[in-house]
Amino acid sequence: MNLANYLFERSKYLQKDVIAGTDEHISYPALFEQVKKVSYFLSQNFKRGEKIGILSENSSFFIASYLGIIKAGCIAIPFDKRISTDDVREIVSICQIQSIFAQKKFIKRLVDIAILNEDDLEKICLESISDNLLNKYDGSGDDLAVIVFTSGSTRRQKGVMLSHKNIITNTESIIEYLQLTEKDRIEVVLPFFYCYGTSLLHTHLRVGGSMVLNKSIFIGSVIKEINEYECTGFAGVPTTFQILLRKTDFIKNRFPTLRYITQAGGRLADCFIEELRDGLPTVDIVIMYGQTEATARLSYLPPNMLKSKVGSIGKGIPGVELKVVNKEGDSVSQGEVGEIIAKGDNIMLGYYNDAKETEKVLKNGYLCTGDLATIDDDGYIYITSREKDIIKSAGYRVNPKEIEDMILSCSKIIDCAVLGIEDDLLGEAIVVYIVAKDKDIALINEIESLCNEKLPSYKNPKYIEFIDMIPLNSSMKVDKPTLREIARKQFL
């Protein structure tokens, strides 16, 4: 089934707002009408399978463009709203993008390509068409629906190809384990160009739920909005919760309608998970793990296991098989470190126009995630690190997460990132960047003392520096290449 048709199958005529809130609101019938008209316009002007970009903040403009493209049988390519002009040029060239739906505020970054802005969308939606003229494309589930470009842990942009079936399968699984219904309303701070963000869009459209699109630059505004709009759900990446817990009074508030919180996009330190669990005892805290290459989600930890399995990413979601294997491909024994591999209908088709990189990660029907982990006797998985992030210091392999978790246990720290840079004596020297409430040199001394007390000498940082904000990549994870460049300029 075509993804757009699937998402609206049960909800297109619901007499309720799909987007609620003060900034913007739109009903299901009105949104569906926009999607139909965008689809008709595209089917009259573009060939099926042609690629069309989207550069927009979270809005009805994004949703109507995105789903209209997909309904027409074209391929949607969402851009990170922080994208540079050079990166736009690169993606447009690689994919031979025909046109871009772009909000006016972003148009300066676009050159030499046809643009459809808010005014154009309004004109398209004012056109009168009968349903018998609509494009009836339903296609094959294996047809390409979306290409998501992600820089990951390298500078090179890779286009993750997701089919209609990939997204539909993952959406069904998420709905099942979160038990989402028409009654659910999600407070959205995650961008729709990011797979975690679009999963919120997909799941709530499918069940007939609603969304509040938070556009404030202040993350603390979610406290007011969750209660004002009676939200039942909230989703965030580690940075989201670290800021809420260390810079706002989030945990002191009461949220009578909030049913669940989900966290993905990287490992949240145990100390923060425990703060959420203890501070919000009536709210289900759902820890999840995924990758863009897996559409969005691969595993989740049930809320009732949060205390007994703290630090675990849980087990595979419905329809996904997860294994932790050694270099020979055999399942590891308890306590042994191996790589997580995944199998399911949500696994990408491959990287766009990049067979070499695709062959590296898709092997024997499995996605090789690059994440190292252990598994316990009950089958619960614990990520230890990413292979690419391991620091080789003084002949030892150092897991940066161990150092980060220890530093984050200090209540004065909001966020931190640990990485290695070239060093003539050590091979790699350990660098720590910290985000703190106050940039006090005494705090640096405190962290140095803590590291000396808790860690062996080869794990002790050579450099500890304050930074205003840890840079994140398009997957909302720590942008290690950018941080490494900052460190090289600062210390080498």
Burial (CB count within 10 angstroms: exposed 0-12, middle 13-18, buried 19+), residue 320: buried
Q: Tell me whether strands 114-116 and 185-188 are parallel, antiparallel or unpaired.
A: unpaired
d(CA 126, CA 34): 9
Measured on CA atoms in the order 415, 420, 423, 426, is the torsion positive or negative?
positive
* Of 241, 247, 280, 246, residue with least CA distance to 264: 241
Query: pLDDT value at position 387?
Result: 79
What mean pLDDT do residues 175-201 have? 97
Q: Find the mean pLDDT for residues 416-420.
A: 95
Residue 228 confidence class, pLDDT cut points 50, 70, 90? very high
Better-scored residue on pLDDT, 288 or 472: 288
How confident is the model over 157-162, as a mean pLDDT? Answer: 94
Give the chain's count of helices (H) and strands (E).
Answer: 14, 26
CA distance 44 to 77: 20
Strand ranges, E, within 405-486: 413-423, 427-436, 463-466
Please state the pTM of the whole predicted model: 0.92
Q: pLDDT value at position 203?
A: 98
| Matching CATH number, 392-491, of 3.30.300.30, 3.40.50.11810, 3.40.449.10, 3.40.50.300 | 3.30.300.30
Where helices occur in 379-476 by DSSP H, the ranges are 400-408, 441-454
Domain residue limits, the chain = 1-139, 161-389, 392-491
The arithmetic mean of pLDDT across residues 360-366, rounded, is 96
What is the pLDDT of the chain when averaged over all its residues? 93
CATH architecture of 1-139: 3-Layer(aba) Sandwich (3.40)
From CA 241, how far away is CA 235, in angstroms rounded? 9
pLDDT score at 39: 94
Say how far apart CA 234 and CA 220 lie, in whole Å: 13
At 71 the pLDDT is: 95
Dihedral sign for Cα atoms in the order 346, 349, 354, 358: positive
Specify whether domain 161-389 bears CATH 3.40.50.12780: yes
Q: What is the pLDDT of residues 39-85, one digit of tens each?
A: 999 999 999 999 999 999 999 999 999 999 999 999 999 999 989 89
Least confident of 160-169, 171-180, 420-429: 420-429
Would you tell me how many other CB atoms lie within 10 Å of the CB of residue 43?
Answer: 20
* Same fold yes or no, 1-139 and 161-389: yes
